[in-house]
């Protein structure tokens, strides 16, 4: 790996283009890179969407976001109240 020359470095090593990649070669390399299937699956997208974006678990694994926990508790409360008033009168 060659160090990147700075704009003020005038040494012969800085002006040599030994490690340079041509524009056509770079396009071909980028085409190969983006041709690979890099899209996440549905389950991976779901896990990314439900994960806490600010914090990982202590083991580095998945941690459910607190917004989803609160939303789930609110939905469970709403369903339980609905069932109580509709089925509790039977």
- d(Cα 20, Cα 2) in Å, to the nearest integer? 10
More confident residue, 27 or 53: 27
Mean pLDDT of the region 18-28: 84
Dihedral of CA atoms 45, 47, 48, 52 in degrees, nearest 10, equals 160
Is it the case that residue 80 has pLDDT exceeding 60? Answer: yes
Structure pTM?
A: 0.47
- d(Cα 64, Cα 51) in Å, to the nearest integer? 5
């Amino acid at each position: 790996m060659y160090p990147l020359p700075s704009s003020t470095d005038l040494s012969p090593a800085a002006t040599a283009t030994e490690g340079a990649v041509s524009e056509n070669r770079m396009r071909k390399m980028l085409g190969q890179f983006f041709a690979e299937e890099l899209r996440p699956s549905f389950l991976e997208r779901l896990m990314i969407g439900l994960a806490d974006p600010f914090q990982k678990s202590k083991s580095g694994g998945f941690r459910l976001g607190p917004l989803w926990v609160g939303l789930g508790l609110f939905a469970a409360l709403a369903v339980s109240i609905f069932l109580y008033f509709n089925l509790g009168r039977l």
